[in-house]
Chain A
Amino acid sequence: MKYLLYFLHSWLAFITSLRFLCYRPTIRQQISLTMIYGVGVIVLRGMYNFFKVPFGTHTILLAILSIVLFKIIFKEFNWQKSIYTALIAFIIMLIVEAFAVLPIMKLFDLTVDKIETDKVLNMYIGVLSNLLLILIYIISVIRDLNIRQRGFKRYHNGINQQ
């Protein structure tokens, strides 16, 4: 369940940032990005068990991974576009963590280790951190639908046409 949430989180974060930039990836691109990044999350979060690295190193490494993934999977992206797309995704994730996860952790006196070890807690925090991403995704879908529905009006011979 924990790993499923990682994959969902990866998909949401990247799809949201791409929609934010008005870019619609193909299904194949979405799957490649989600699967590779999801595996990266699992591996890099697990590295704290083996290496004595400061907490937060996984975020930096995941950011670098996502930049490389954008460049490889989206052929039309140059390095600059890959970097700022990845940065937008991570900034969105940080905002979500700051507004949704941090207050909950403070309120209920939770630590990172408690969340990692408790499956139920992990699931709730995972869903919570994805909520804002889901909201932004829904807003961008609605925005796209509105633009397509408004379409192109023609007034011809006294008749409104669409």
Chain B
Amino acid sequence: MKSGVPKFSSGNKKESIKVIFLAQTFLIMAVTFYLCLTKWGMIDGRYYTIGIDVMLVILFILSGLVGVGSIYLFNEMVYLIEIDKEHEIQKIQIMQMQESNELLRIQKHDFSNNLQVLWGLLSLGDVEKAKEYLNKYSDRLNIDEKELIKLNRISCTYLYTLLLNKAYKCKNKGIEIDYYIQPSVSLEGFNPIDIVNILGNLLDNAIYEVEKLEIGCGSIIVDICCDEKEYIFCVNNKGTIIPEEIMDEIFEKGFTTKDSEGEGLGLYNVKETVKKYNGEIHVKSDACIGTSFSIRIPRKMAGKDVLLKKTTGRI
């Protein structure tokens, strides 16, 4: 049985808010325009007019409604912003789970191939070679204990999951990745969506470039630290360089060096996110250091998101 009460989704609420706001704006503009026409005697005797006092009362009532409506609108908008943010975080969680699942699927496939190799070696009676093979394989499966300890310093769950997933991804592709995370660094002030956006895009680009090289020729370093003034995020990939002629264009929307799979939005989104925090992004690329993206964000800007979290909530 259908319920008579219409259910308002978040999309509908946004449209309703637009309608209320525009309707109030239109009515106030129309009344003011009408008042001007009447006061200046531009509506002559041929047309019937409403008295100025009546129009003023109407304008007064409408202004009051606007005031009340604005409080309601503000409330609703803040609530919608919160919901949107929750949805974004859930999307990140789903994306990270999908990435983990994909890694597990690849590892499973890899595992069955390697089991067959082991079975073959054992069938031939070559136990020593089988042991050596097994050692190499299990070494490949596990993330270095030291790296895990470094990752455990991260308080942000989403960033931890992102970096762990990337570590496994690099391990699968035979890419060396090192994390240098300052023990005292706290990323509480950041919106987790922004952190994942920045580091996720930079790491994906680094992995894309390094996997084109021969195994052992490239590596990735991730550095997260902070001092009194700013947070510093650095992603460096050794072995690949960005040509000088495109250095100024890489942050432009739509620009990509990837073939058909590139959308040209990764670095653009990173730049926009960093700009949001009044931060800076620098890129250096040469044969000595490889390519290094470093982001500096003032500490006071990161804290603003914490302030927003504390002030949201219905009035």
B306 beta carbon closer than 8 Å to chain A: no
Residues A87 and B41 in contact, CB atoms below 8 Å apart:
no
Q: A55-B47, A111-B42, A153-B264 are in contact. Are A80 and B254 (CB under 8 A)?
A: no
Query: A75 to nearest B CB, angstroms?
Result: 17
A94 to B26 Cα, complex, angstroms: 8
User: How far does the Cβ of A115 sit from chain B's closest Cβ, in whole Å?
Assistant: 9
Taken together as a complex, chains A and B put the C-alpha atoms of A107 and B168 apart, in Å, by 76
A94 interface neighbour in B16, B29, B46, B257, Cβ under 8 Å: B29
User: By DSSP majority rule, is chain A's interface helix, strand, loop, or mixed?
Assistant: helix
Residue pair A84, B22 in contact (C-beta under 8 Å)? yes
Interface residues on A, range: 35 or more
- Which residues from B are CB-within-8-Å of A112? 37, 42-44, 47
The total of Cβ contacts below 8 Å across the A-B interface reads 98
Chain A residue numbers with a CB within 8 Å of B50 are: 54
Cα distance, A113 to B252, chains bound together (Å): 56
Within 8 Å of chain B (Cβ to Cβ): is A152?
A: yes
Tell whether, in the assembled complex, residue A91 and residue B252 are in contact, meaning their CB atoms are under 8 Å apart: no
**Which among A78, A80, A150 has the greatest number of chain B C-beta atoms within 10 A?**
A80
A121 to B311, CA, bound (A): 56
Give the CA-CA distance A156 to B246 in the complex, in Å: 11
Chain B: which residue is nearest A60 at the CB level?
Answer: B30
Chain A residues with a Cβ under 8 A of chain B: 48, 52-56, 59, 63, 78, 80-81, 83-84, 87-88, 90-91, 94-95, 97-98, 102, 105-106, 110-114, 150-156, 158, 160
Interface residues of chain B, those whose CB is within 8 Å of chain A, are 12, 15-16, 18-19, 22-23, 25-26, 29-30, 33-34, 36-37, 40-44, 46-50, 243, 246, 249, 252, 254-257, 259, 262, 264
* Pairs A–B under 8 Å by Cβ, sample size 26: A48-B46, A54-B50, A55-B43, A55-B47, A63-B26, A80-B19, A83-B23, A87-B25, A88-B22, A91-B25, A91-B26, A95-B29, A102-B36, A106-B42, A110-B42, A111-B42, A111-B43, A112-B37, A112-B43, A152-B264, A153-B254, A153-B256, A154-B256, A155-B256, A156-B259, A158-B243
6 closest pairs, A vs B, by CB?
A80-B15, A87-B22, A55-B47, A111-B44, A113-B44, A94-B29
